[in-house]
A and B are shown apart, each in its own frame.
Chain A
């Protein structure tokens, strides 16, 4: 099967999944006690029963479930995720405003984790009983066992409070004057700690995977042949083996995106990172249901897109892999 038809098939299937996600989210919100009319009424400083009924009518809450669902779905098709009653702004606008921050965090953390993880894994595989190997084992255990917010808090105490090397919160210092380069540098400066915190969860997994597949590859015939032919050790390690080690790491990394987003929610809360997670928490506390549903939907979209991208990336890394 060609690349494009595979992609087309995956996209089509992804769309189906999204519809299912929408229906589930909608049903969940509908069966929960209380609705947006109560929230708005409370917010207005109170309203009597007739006003509440009027709000229900205005938001279509008086309609049967399937009518509401149908209306919602048909709006989503037109990229209209509804209106945030809390911020008085279309949900799509809100999400698009926050998405770049979350993507930056998620992407940079993933890249950091994949690169460092693979390198550590490779180094560890070189000497399975050496110090690096031990460090990798230790790191992987730490990454898995430490609650991510705890890691973040420890980093804040260490690198912001005791040794003030990094800014404490947010994504940028708006008072920084300068051109694009200076501003980018400022954002990167803010990014360091959240990125490391988020990457720490996954570093463990990737270094283990890389180590395991490297060990396997290093025992394989063609590597032995290469060695016998006198290819320098460095060349063996990085040219032949690394490529094979990267495959499983990328596969798994692609599957992790749902988990990375979950991690990002917590990391954003720790570092006041102005992304989707912060918006989600705020919307949940205010029960801004259109925004909550919008974020759930969008997260699923991101996960599906990354799953498809992972497929494509894998084909470049290892052309032997066929679809599926």
Chain B
């Protein structure tokens, strides 16, 4: 799926060189110099406002049948038209966006937590532990991600929780690899070596000393994870593996799918919502990468 598409892009690059004492303001300057990234940020802010503040202005319940099914967009006072049950698609886009983004965020958090833990321990300890953990990572890379999460959702039921877990569990490997390579690099740096030879405990070193400095590429990666998790959820919904009690963008697409010939808009609109959200996120990702990757700045 597309999620790995973007992640591989990062790892294909050389290890990042980082100036630890870099001031935040310069990063911000770098970020804002990337016009696409700024556009992405503006777009994302707009989408977030739309989904989270929208329901206060447009108070229609997305589950309520308000009109005849498949009223086309713009007619009868429905900006985005109505779906196969005559429910307001605009309302579904707002509330569904909250769910889609929440799933995206939660799944990304799960994969980052797993990925960082595995990567950090592998990179910090090295040796047998590293070997074992990286084999473990490779094992998960061999699993067909979507098929595997389809099976999880089918076996344990299509609820928000299982869907989120299923996505998180299959998509952490890229984070683990990025984290490990950062740890490998940073642990050799002088001040870390000094701290290690001192009496600092491993846990302190891993989470207080190395991790903060390894964060930039992980942040970039995590950002992309959110986008790919949104896509992932949409794919599961499309295949019919979603919770019908929670509106999500994917859910709207999946449930209107049988009617594409007559009411393409009911599929196209949530498709555009997903597209623009993921687009915004990946543009921001590019910007973050620029801002956090000093090597690029010299170009």
Interface residues of A (CB under 8 A from B): 17, 20-21, 24, 28-29, 32-33, 141-150, 153-154, 156-157, 161, 201-202, 204-205, 208-209, 212, 248, 251-252, 255-256, 258-259, 261-263, 265-266, 269, 277, 280-281, 284-285, 287, 292, 295-296, 299-300, 303-304
Contacts and interface: CB of A to CB of B under 8 A. Distances in A.
B275 A296 contact: no
Contact of A295 (B147, B253, B276): B147
19 contacts: A17-B139, A17-B142, A29-B155, A141-B279, A143-B5, A147-B275, A149-B253, A150-B267, A150-B275, A153-B260, A157-B260, A204-B2, A255-B141, A256-B4, A256-B5, A269-B239, A285-B154, A292-B151, A296-B147
A145 B227 contact: yes
Closest 8 pairs (CB-CB, A-B): A262-B146, A32-B155, A299-B144, A150-B271, A145-B278, A145-B279, A205-B5, A259-B4
B150 interface: yes
Contacts of A153: 257, 260, 264, 267, 271
Interface stretch (B109-117, B179-187, B230-238): B230-238
B45 interface: no
A21 B142 contact: yes
A299 B147 contact: yes
Nearest to A263: B1
A284 B274 contact: no
Contacts of B150: 265, 280-281, 284
Nearest to A203: B5
Contacts of B12: 209, 212, 248, 251-252
A144 B235 contact: no
B132 interface: no
Interface residues of B, number: 49
A114 to B, nearest CB: 13
A296 B234 CA distance: 21
B235 A148 contact: yes
B144 A287 contact: no
B234 A141 contact: no
A147 B231 contact: yes
A154 B142 contact: no
Interface string B26-48: 00000000000000000000000
